[in-house]
Amino acid sequence: MIYFDFNATSPLHEAVLEAMVPYYRNFYGNPSSLHRIGRISRDAVEAARIQVAGLAGASASQVVFTSGGTEANSLAICGLADVLPPGQILVSPIEHSSVLEPLKALSETGWTVRFMELTDGGRVCERFLESAIDPETRFAVCMIANNETGVIQDIQRIAEQFRDLGIPLHCDGVQAFGKIAIDFSASRFSFMSVSAHKIGGPKGVGALVFDKSVRLEPLLKGGGQEKGLRGGTENVAGIVGFGVAAEIAQRNLGENANHLFRLRQRLEQGLKKLPSITIFCKQEKRLPNTVMFGVGGMDGEMVVMELDRKGIAVSSGSACSSQDTEPSHVLLAMRVDREVARSAVRVSLGSTSTETEVDQFLVVLQNLVSGAHQKASGY
C-alpha cells in the first residue's frame, strides 16, 4: 500500500510505541497520587511536557495537555468566550471544522463571527485586517498552515496586528507543528493548538500552548489537573508517546523538510506532465509535504476511490470532512470554481514516503486520467 494521507493521520513511530507500553503495563499510577507509583506517572507527564514545549518553542509551563487538536481549539475558543463580553471574533474562512463549529455555536449566543478576506492564493489579506479590527473585536483565530492546501500564513505579521492592540489571537498549529519550525515564545500569538497523531504520536492526545498573561476558562472542570485548565486524569501513556514523537520531530525537522520538499517537487513535476491537472496554490509558501490538485473533468472522491482500489491512500480534502459531498470550503473561500473544487485531490507525504512511491503514484494517476479522457471522448 502507498500511504499518502499524512495530513489526516500518521503511523505511530516504533520508538513512540515502545515508550508508551510500560505506562500501560507497569506504571499505571495516577499522576495526582502522592505515592511512588503515582509520582512515576507525574514525572513522565512532566518530561513529555518539556519535549512538546521544545518543539513548540515554548516553556513547559505554557503547555496544557488535551485529548487532541479538536479539544485544544475548543479550549482556546470557548475558554476565551467565557471570560470576555460578547463582541466580534475575526476568523479565517479556511479553518478546520474544530474551529468553525464552536464559532458557529457562539454566533448563536450573541457573538458576531466575521470572516477574514483571503487572497486567491489562500492567504489572509493583511489590509482587510486593518479595516476589520474595531473596538468590538474580542479575539481572532487563524491557522498557521492549512490542512488541505498546505498554505502557510504569514502568521507573525498577522499576530503583530492583534498583539499591538491587546487582542488575543488563537492559532491552529496542528498541521504546522513538526513540519515547519515554530517559535511560540518569539511569536506574538496567544494560543496554539497541536496534536500528537499528525507527527507519529498516538491518536487522542494534543495540547494547547498558551500565553500565561491571557485568561482562559477551562472547558472541562474537575480535579484541578493541568493547573486547573483541563480536568480529568491525564492520558499518561498517550502523553508520553506525544513527548517522544515531538522529540523525534524536533531532531529530524530540517532533514525531514528537505526530504519532503524534494519528493513534492518530483510529484509536482510529474503532475504538470499530465493533462488537465491544476495544482492549487502552487506559487504560495506551503507545507513541504502537501499538494492539492484538481483533476479536470473528474470528481475528486471518485479519484480517491479509484486510487484506493489500486492500493493508494490519498484524500479528497480534509479527512475529517470526507463524508461531505460539498466541495472543499477552503477552495471555495479562495474563489475556486465549484466544479474545479469538486475535482480536488490532496496528497500529503510523510517521512517514510519514497521516490519510488511517488513514481508509482504518478503512473497509476496517469492511467486513471487518460482512461477517463478516452471514455469522455468516446474511444
Q: Which residues bind ligand PLP (CB under 6 A)?
A: 68-70, 73, 96, 98, 143, 147, 172, 174-175, 195, 206, 320
Check 125, 171, 281, 320 and give the catalytic one. 320
Nearer to ligand PLP, 287 or 365 (CB): 287
Q: At what angle do helices 14-25 and 236-272 cross, to 10 degrees?
A: 160
**Cβ atoms 341, 327 nearer than 8 A:** yes
CB of 224 to ligand PLP, least distance (A): 24
CB of 97 to ligand PLP, least distance (A): 8
**Cβ atoms 144, 303 nearer than 8 A:** no
Side by side, the strands of the sheet bearing 112-115 are 63-66, 206-210, 191-195, 169-172, 137-141, 88-91, 112-115
Nearer to ligand PLP, 239 or 372 (CB): 239
Closest residue to ligand PLP, Cβ-based? 69
Taking the C-alpha atoms of residue 264 and residue 355, their distance in angstroms, rounded to an integer, is 10
Angle at 247 between CA 224 and CA 171, to 5 degrees: 60
CA torsion, ordered 282, 288, 289, 295, to nearest 10 deg = 10
CB of 85 to ligand PLP, least distance (A): 27
Residue 106 CA from chain centroid, whole number = 22
Taking the C-alpha atoms of residue 216 and residue 301, their distance in angstroms, rounded to an integer, is 40
Nearer to ligand PLP, 298 or 314 (CB): 314
CB of 75 to ligand PLP, least distance (A): 12
Q: Reduce the DSSP state of residue 284 to 3 states and report it.
A: coil
Nearer to ligand PLP, 72 or 369 (CB): 72
CB of 159 to ligand PLP, least distance (A): 17
Q: Which residues pair with residue 137 across a beta bridge?
A: 88
CB of 345 to ligand PLP, least distance (A): 17
Nearer to ligand PLP, 19 or 174 (CB): 174
Taking the C-alpha atoms of residue 371 and residue 277, their distance in angstroms, rounded to an integer, is 14
Residue 320 bears catalytic tag: yes
Region of 311 please: left (phi>0), alpha (psi -120 to 50) or beta: left
CB of 8 to ligand PLP, least distance (A): 6
C-alpha radius of gyration, the chain, whole number: 21
Q: CA distances (Å), 279 to each of 6, 120, 331, in order?
A: 18, 13, 12
Farthest-apart Cα atoms in the chain, separation: 76
Q: How many other C-beta atoms lie within 10 A of the C-beta of residue 375? A: 10
Q: Compute the residue count for the chain.
A: 379
Residues with a known catalytic role: 320
